[in-house]
Amino acid sequence: MRGRLLRAWREGAAARGLAELGAPRGKPPWRVLFFGTDDFAAESLRALEAAREPREEPLIDRLEVVTLPSPLPRGPPVKNCAQQFQLPTHHWPDTGPSSQFDVGVVASFGRLLNEDLILQFPYGVLNVHPSYLPRWRGPAPIVHAVLHGDTVTGVTIMQIKPKRFDVGPIIKQERYAVPSQCTAKELEAILSKLGANMLISVLKNLPESLKNKREQPNEGVTFAPKVTIAMSCIKWEEQTPEQILRLHRAIGATLPLQTLWMGNTVKLLDFVEVHNICSFADQLLNEHGIVPGSVLYHKSSETLVVRCKEGWVGVKTVILKKKLTAADFYNGYLHAWFQQKTLHGDCRFHTLKLTTVKKTERKGNGGAQYKTKSA
């Protein structure tokens, strides 16, 4: 009972605040407060800015931005975009003037909006989410779609609920067939344009779109947790060639995959399929026994061939102190003269394991650092 009374009071307070500014608008142009950070979000912001351009029936006449503070001089893409368009910008948790907007829009923001804030918007807060919900709720849906080999994904425009991410009712959804060999960065660019177009479509007929919203189904719910550095460590004994290639396409552009070579951490770039040279590798190592992480050099294709679970995967570039081609790595570390002076078991890639160690808390701020060990 007390909860219902508190909610009614909050809704009344929001309504009174809006009354001071005039009644909520029943049709465009809308007053929009945008929340976002990354490249995916910036595409929706650009679409909203384009909808402000003078025309016979404008869609938006006021647009302001909320983004996250960044220690980097350049700042997040949404901030740069807002500066380019000379839009009023607020840094979270500051959200600017209260109860002065018709609708909020969130895209890749990464922060929960509380109920008091949501109630300031007569039409609520829309979220442009890059998955076909309820599959891949959470902060990294595009990465996990690529990582798990999804052949179909999509974009969902949903209405935000307080306290939990990505559980609100669906306003509009579209499926998209994932291109073969597509990276997460490539898929992000595609879905960002699709999401921006869908957002504008919803805003053109916002009251009707909200009337037709539907709750998310209970079946098919999956979660897309945040990407961590530990995900970049290749597990040669556990991961198949296809899983390693998908991992590279999912996170390799931002977190190069890692492994251990002679106790040193190395990064592997430019992975390729090696179906045509698997028999060569199997035959060459047959006398010694095939061990996960074993590395060979295929001269004609200039490729390092690495044994993993149920097959081999190719690598074209290695970073070991500096960037090396496969041929450079072979000449420096795999040549016969080097192997003769080294135990065969050590002359391979080992799985790099990162163990989390909590930092000493200072002024209430905790963190974590990683230590490495081989497997």
pLDDT at position 340, please? 59
pLDDT of residue 296: 87
The answer to which of 9-13, 68-72, 338-342 has the lowest mean pLDDT is: 9-13
Q: In the numeric block, which tokens belong to residue 286? A: 């047959």
Statement: residue 365 has pLDDT above 70:
no
What the block records as the tokens of 134 is 């309820």
| Res 344: pLDDT | 52
The confidence band for 299, taking pLDDT boundaries of 50, 70 and 90, is: confident
Taking the CA of residue 214 as centre, how many other CA atoms within 13 Å lie in the half-sphere pointing to its CB?
8
What's the burial of 372, exposed, middle or buried (CB within 10 Å: 0-12/13-18/19+)?
A: middle
Q: What is the pLDDT of residue 284?
A: 56
Q: Which two tokens stand for residue 368?
A: 């974590």
Among candidate residues 64, 162, 158, the one with its CA nearest the CA of residue 111: 162
What is the pLDDT, as a whole number, of residue 14?
Answer: 44
How much is the mean pLDDT over the chain? 87
**Size (the chain), residues:** 375
3-state class (DSSP) for residue 201? helix
Q: Which of 19-28, 69-78, 268-277 has the lowest mean pLDDT?
A: 19-28
- The residue-averaged pLDDT of 301-312 equals 92
Give tens-digit pLDDT for 61-107. Answer: 999 999 999 887 788 999 999 999 999 999 999 999 989 999 999 99
pLDDT at residue 286 in the model: 57
pLDDT of residue 55: 76
* pLDDT tops 70 at residue 280: no
Q: pLDDT tens digits for 122-181? A: 999 999 999 999 999 999 999 999 999 999 999 999 999 998 999 999 999 999 999 999
Q: Using a CB cutoff of 8 Å and minimum separation of 24, what contacts does 94-99 make? A: 94/66, 95/33, 95/66, 96/33, 96/64, 96/66, 98/17, 99/14, 99/17, 99/18, 99/20, 99/21
Please say if the pLDDT value at position 35 is more than 60: yes
pLDDT for residue 133 = 98
How many angstroms separate the most distant Cα atoms in the chain?
A: 84
pLDDT, tens digit, 9 for 90 and up, residues 200-224 = 999 999 999 999 999 999 999 999 9
- Whether residue 288 is predicted with pLDDT greater than 80 in this model: the reply is no
Task: Kindly state the average pLDDT of the residues 314-322.
Answer: 96
Reply yes or no on whether the pLDDT at 363 is more than 50.
no
Helix ranges (DSSP H) in 86-162: 115-118, 141-147
What domains, with CATH codes, occur in the chain?
Answer: 21-212 (3.40.50.170), 229-351 (3.10.25.10)
